Structure 1
């Protein structure tokens, strides 16, 4: 049992209007995308392909590769995967990685920025709408990335990646005379995709600290949640991950399907991944 949390410090109670406004706009546009006038099978395909690209970029690129250095890949592969993850618009890679490493250092403690002890809604998404003190410690937690101009540029301009993507989608939609036109394709592939990816990612912070089972006795609330694992390409095996954060494989039991791990195996077969670190589940041990 965790001690009840007190009220937020005064400096954190005010909403960050930039982040809050952006999230409101994205959710409104995602709802608009679902109107019948914007439906098309091409939009569904664009959504599916970019969902795979974005989620894999987050899970394999930003998370297992960069944040935890669970494997080694050529520089061009790393940068491609990081760009894919940055398409998720979950801040830039330096901020993403720094905050994630901070989360592991203080998981479910009051200093954790999405501390599950403050409740499901806070850990799911409310935390990002307020001041995040951990951002002041990025030098400490992501200093290895801050020395790279590639990462610094992406961290500053990550939102710009959506512009060429949107223009390309609009052109395809108009040229192919897709139902709903270029606007429909853009709505499905950008705001709708972003909102779904947001909530899937946030479920790893919220649902997997509340629902599921534990293979390991970690000093936090992390749990393994099968349905989050399916949506997030294996990130839902969260208790396994918190017990062995450096492991490139999160699904450690035979039934814990980990799609990101299958991509790591593919990279290894292709000679594009080496020094892959993995953990094992031993029944009765924790």
Structure 2
């Protein structure tokens, strides 16, 4: 499958530009959605139909509690931080880091991005095993998202958890696990 936010189209496109290019993203990813089962659930339909109401209520609540500074920090700064650490997975994790799995793309594992995204920075792991609930596959790869899923599983609230098998890992194991900087393939920042 093609990468819908490849850095080959430029750093800024891979960081944030792709989000404004919905039709092109659908074409590049070769499928409109992979969550059809969720789209049919009433709870998620409700969230989709009322998505603008939730931040409006939060904004009003924050203003009532602490005035405009609370709105700035609770909506503006928090939202900006959340978006940009997410976008770092699409940009930085395709440029800097190591590539322990042969995925045929530019995805990289980046420990710094993994730290600020609760484990999503183990992006080469994700590209290699896209259905895996766990991105930090080594004991030292911090993945608090996986810790949450594991806890939910132990409580019986998450089921059918998928993890890569040893055979799958062996098949995709790379001969090079060094840190790489693909500057010859990445165009200049635009």
1:264 is aligned to 149
State whether residues 132 and 164 of structure 2, in contact with CA within 8 Å, keep that contact through their aligned partners in structure 1: yes
Could you give the per-residue CA deviations for residues 186-226 of structure 1, whole angstroms, max 9, x where no partner exists? 11010110101110000011000111001101011110000
Match of 2:6 in 1: 115
Contact 2:85 2:117 (8 Å CA) reproduced: yes
Instruction: Please say if residues 102 and 172 of structure 2, whose CA atoms lie closer than 8 Å, have aligned partners that are also in contact.
Output: no
Q: Is 1:124 the equivalent of 2:9?
A: no
Match of 1:211 in 2: 96
* 1:123 CA displacement: 0.3
Distance 1:220 1:273 in 2: 31
- What is the TM-score when the length of structure 2 is the normalising length? 0.78
RMSD across aligned positions (CA): 2.3
Quote the residue 1:144 is aligned against: 37
Could you tell me which residue of structure 1 aligns to residue 2 of structure 2?
A: 106
Determine whether 1:153 maps to 2:38: no
Structure 2 gap ranges (5+): 174-190
Q: CA deviation at 1:259?
A: 0.8
C-alpha separation between the residues in 1 aligned to 2:87 and 2:44? 23
How far is the alpha carbon of 1:170 from its aligned partner? 1.8
Shift in Å, 1:280:
5.5
Structure 1 unpaired stretches of 5+ = 1-104, 174-181
Residues 248-276 of structure 1 deviation map (CA, whole Å, 9 limit, x = unaligned)? 11001121110101111211222222222
Instruction: Note the C-alpha offset of 1:146.
Output: 3.4
SS at match of 1:206: helix
Give the corresponding residue for 1:164. Answer: 57
2:69 aligned residue:
184
Check whether the contact 2:18–2:25 (CA below 8 A) recurs between aligned residues: no
